[in-house]
Structure 1
Amino acid sequence: MITVENPLEFLRYGIFVRALAGAVLSGVICSLVGVYVFLRKMSFIGAGLAHIAFAGIAFGLFLGSFPLLWGFIFAFVASSAIWFFGYRGRLTFDATIGILFATSMGLAVLFLGISGKYKSEALSYLFGSPLMVGSVDVSVLALTAAILVTVSVLFYKELYLTVFSEEIAKASGIPVEKITFVAMTFITVAVVGAMKAVGALLVFSLLVMPPASAYEVAGSFDKMLMVSVVFGFIAAFLGVFLSLTFNIPSGSTITLVSFLLFLLSYAKRRRF
């Protein structure tokens, strides 16, 4: 086991390096899409999609195959429904998320109860276990991060106007509904991708707290994007580092580091 006297000992082992890389990439992805979530006042979507994805994972465990793939399918269908009812129906985003959230948790309990097995693996997705992150997971997360950064740079103007004023964006000829759909797809990918490292219960902390911290200290949208990513990186890195060093849960550690960064940002803004 890693000792406090030599906290970098774990870097000698591939499983720990993958755990750290997976958590850091998850932090970067979540904190970047989290800026959109935070500014659009959609923070509850992180918790909702995480629990909906968990229902998909429980279904995958029930079938005995590809739990993360089923988690993504469930979450993607749910995010599509949220988008559809938000723009085509009479329900608000929050109402649709609440309905799907409650239904998905009922399904998760049902699938796990029927299967009667894989409960320990299900708990690892619920609370997070970065040691489950494999080479394929790291590669997918790295590709997702690269695509997300590229999209954010290429469509910066469209994202900016959509976040701050849908009316102005529509008047400027920007396809707001399509951009929102793409953004929600990336949110889904971010949530599902981060579940191994952080867990369904705490993944939305990476969607909300780094952007909230960045909001306190950044003076513009582009700076908020960059600062949020930095905070997400720091929270994930320190969280997993402390988790591996002291043998404590990674999800809660990442969340607590994120909260500490928020408190420091809040204090700096108000000069406490």
Structure 2
Amino acid sequence: MSDSRQSSLDPIQLEGWRWAPFLDQAIAQLLPMQPTAYPIEQTYLHKHNTGGSKTRPFSATTETWGCSTEKLRQVRAACVEAGSAASVLNLVMNPRTSYDLPFFGADLVTLPNGHLIALDLQPALKSDATHTEHVWSRLTPLFERWRRELPDGGPIPEEAQPFFSPCFLWTRLPLGDEGDALIEKAVMPAYLDYLHLYLDLVKEATSVSSDREQNLLSGQRKYTAYRSEKDPARGMLGRFHGPEWTENFIHGVLFDLE
């Protein structure tokens, strides 16, 4: 795609990008909510670079899709296609603080050593039962179903645990036919289950008091600060597009509540 891409709502067009069906599903589910374009500077809508060494050359393109709705402050998808080096969809839905909602998070990553898959409805106030219990009671059956179908991805760091739910679905899959079969058989339906539940929660959400909104804002700021500081894509994006562009992208687009 050329650098003339103007709107964050323009379709993502990355040749060979394996995660396109996942983003297409999310966009289709969001359309009834009448999304409007999210303001993103041109340089972060589309970025292409080539480089590397003779032994590790790359041709990498990063594109961003983004929207807002009545109850979602920012929905954004960071999409990377770099051939055998990486293929990535990072999709996060950030609720407005006037609604008592978690974040939706999906990381779908293909690297030379395999696929990394993470799905969650991530709490802004994990210790607050009002914020979480109505979510976990509906999310837990989905988590229990799909974790039986997918290998466990291993432990997450202790410092990260406050920012993930008890239903964090995290797996590592091999490249090749085995991994492709699991993506079709389990990852896509699990993703749709999490997505549909989240959008149901959004539709049902009602506005909260101003005091409650301030608590939610505080929780969202802690989440955003942690995610921007620990973003695992920083090294990859820095190699593809340089450290200055990468830091501005992380802080100014991906986690812009800061």
Q: Give TM class, smaller chain.
A: under 0.3
**Greater relative contact order (Cα < 8 A, sep 6+):** 1
- Which structure is higher in strand share? 2
- Which structure is higher in helix share? 1
TM-score, normalised relative to structure 2:
0.28
